[in-house]
Structure 1
Amino acid sequence: MILIKNPLTPLAWKLIAGALVVLVVWLLWNSGQRARQREAAARADSAFASARTGAATDANRIQDEALSGRASDEALSRKHADELLQAPGAGQRLDPGLNRAARERLCQRAAYRDRPDCVQLAGGRQPPR
């Protein structure tokens, strides 16, 4: 049997072993770091999606409430107009100044603002809001 002399000294072997240990530790730490980053990104994505869903739900609720409120305001205004037109004396002529003042105030309400008679009363321009 022929023995081949080892060209590396014991110090060189220790340095190589130390470098391998450092490399293994670094690889293990780096893979754990990547996993933590992926986990954090997944949590952030989930939180963002949840917040976006909540915001959309709130926006829909607010819009529905606004539309419902506007519809009930307009229904109430129509009901009041019908009651006024059916009240005793509704067919009698009013004093022109009183009639104009009442119509001007009525035309300031959102339910009546865009009606042709209100636009005409305002001289072709939109009444004040």
Structure 2
Amino acid sequence: MTTESTHISVFIARSSADVYAYASQPRNLPAWAAGLSSAIHEADGHWVADSPMGRVTVAFAPANAFGILDHDVTLPNGETVYNPVRVIPAGDHSEIIFTLRRRGGMSTEEFRRDAEAVAADLERLKALLEGRGTR
């Protein structure tokens, strides 16, 4: 059971439509979401990613007009982790918000490291979409 969550967000100097269009494409994940995927491919209608946790399966929310980028990640041990993500308009910019949930048995230190990894991923996305590379 989830007992704790934190919201990690960045503002991006691009429209929410632009951010959603890029971030919603699974093939783009390795470019910005190192915490999830160093490589990803589609196999039998499922997305399979090589992640820091091992080989995982990722199921994404259907394309939508609401900026919802939710996805389930099935870990090598069979556990499925639900990841709520939103792209929200902010004038001619946008904010992307990732809700990180602490999984059962996860230590405070593991949760902190997970949050840092998500924040780094979102910063990479921001840099890519703002044309600054990945410094």
**TM bucket normalised to smaller:** under 0.3
Compare the two structures and name the one with the higher helix fraction.
1
Greater radius of gyration (CA): 1
TM-score with structure 2 setting the length: 0.20
Per chain length, whose mean CA-contact separation is higher, i.e. which structure has more relative contact order (CA < 8 Å, sep 6+)?
Answer: 2
